[in-house]
Amino acid sequence: MAFIVPTFNLFANVFTSATFPPAVPRLAAIPCQLRQSGRLSTGQRGTATAFIPLWECLFPLHTDIRDFKNATGADNLEVPAGSGRFYFVDLVDDVGKGFTNEYRVAMIEKNGIWPTPIP
């Protein structure tokens, strides 16, 4: 069975670096898929003794998602778009690079205060 490109069943708003609404997103309503990856970060960005659960947000090929290695800083994602659920982008890379089924993945962590109840 051939590997299939993921279905992008949600939309995300992308905010550059430390910006959040009411700022205008850098990219609005970008197709994506949000899923729990089962991976943990060791918290290198501050609390070195903490383990941070990471999620995966999958995007179509060449989507302009930025991690902390970019000059403008890491993006903040609102997934689903308009929900108030924000995630910080830890790492971005491509899956299946050079193949017809290539897509982009962002490893993300929960960021900020979410609405209650969680939408």
pLDDT of residue 4: 77
Structural domain contains residue 2: no
Residue 18 in domain: yes
Phi-psi domain of 106 (left: phi exceeds 0; alpha: psi -120 through 50; beta: other) = beta
**Per-residue buried b or exposed e for 22-52, using 16+ beta carbons within 10 Å of the residue's own CB:** eeebbbeebebbbeeeeeeeeeeeeeeeeeb
Q: Report the amino acid identity of residue 2.
A: A
Amino acid residing at 18: A
For the chain, the domain total comes to: 1
Determine the pLDDT at residue 1.
45
Domain-embedded: residue 118: no
The reply to whether 116 falls in a domain is no
Domain assignment present for 5: no
Give the residue carrying structure tokens 């069943």.
9
Q: Which residues pair with 78 in a beta bridge?
A: 13, 86
The reply to whether 49 falls in a domain is yes
Confidence of residue 107 (pLDDT cuts 50, 70, 90): very high
Predicted confidence (pLDDT) per residue in 4-50, tens digit: 778 999 999 999 987 888 889 999 999 999 998 766 655 555 555 56
Q: Are strands 86-95 and 10-15 parallel, antiparallel or unpaired?
A: unpaired
46-102, pLDDT tens digit by residue?
A: 555 566 778 899 999 999 999 988 878 899 999 999 999 999 998 999 998 888 889
| Domain with 42 in it | 12-111
**pLDDT value of position 43:** 54
Look at phi and psi of residue 90 and say left if phi exceeds 0, alpha if psi is from -120 to 50, else beta: alpha
Residue 50 is predicted with a pLDDT of 64
